[in-house]
Structure 1
């Protein structure tokens, strides 16, 4: 039985050892950026969780046909996060569904510039006045 003497030797025993703290500047900068982004996300997480709870509360009020309460909560949400598509669509739904409010044009302002998915359109269409429905165009994909 023959043994291979090369397999028993360390192949890199003559190579110089790398210092544990010697990293290129760009690796250190990238690691710092990742840590800053992680820290920012961690700090903003409680605010986003609270806003998600408020959005769920507004949707529950809307589903329970308490449109005035839903509009109040949606308004609060939109002041804190004006770009929230879910809050804008929910507020438009509550505005259109609330026949007593008479502020249907405000619902159209909320929908300006939005591209609606099929489910979102199906939610809005039954409560949207017919004169506003005609202003929407179905996109071809």
Structure 2
């Protein structure tokens, strides 16, 4: 009986030691994870502090006299060289202010290629015959 109790005690002690070693190993790994999480959170804070502030672009009000209206088979007054020159001047100012071609096209409710064409032509409309020498380029 005494021998059985000693064996049982020895088995308990052995198992307890093994469990303590495992728990120490897990504690060390957990400390490493905590340190790496702390480092990652510090880096995230630094990244957010260094991030450029997003520019708040103003809401564009499109003048009705020079707004872009697609042709419906009728002659439109907004297609004259004078009106197109005014429209393209607005687009140029907006483009130089940092707006993308797509943003300008959405604000003016026109096709992206229309604004690309204006940019490709140097923001200056010309008579159709003078434009024949231009190569087609993408924005």
Higher helix share: 2
Larger Rg: 2
TM-score range, shorter chain: 0.3 to 0.5
The TM-score normalised by the length of structure 2 is 0.37
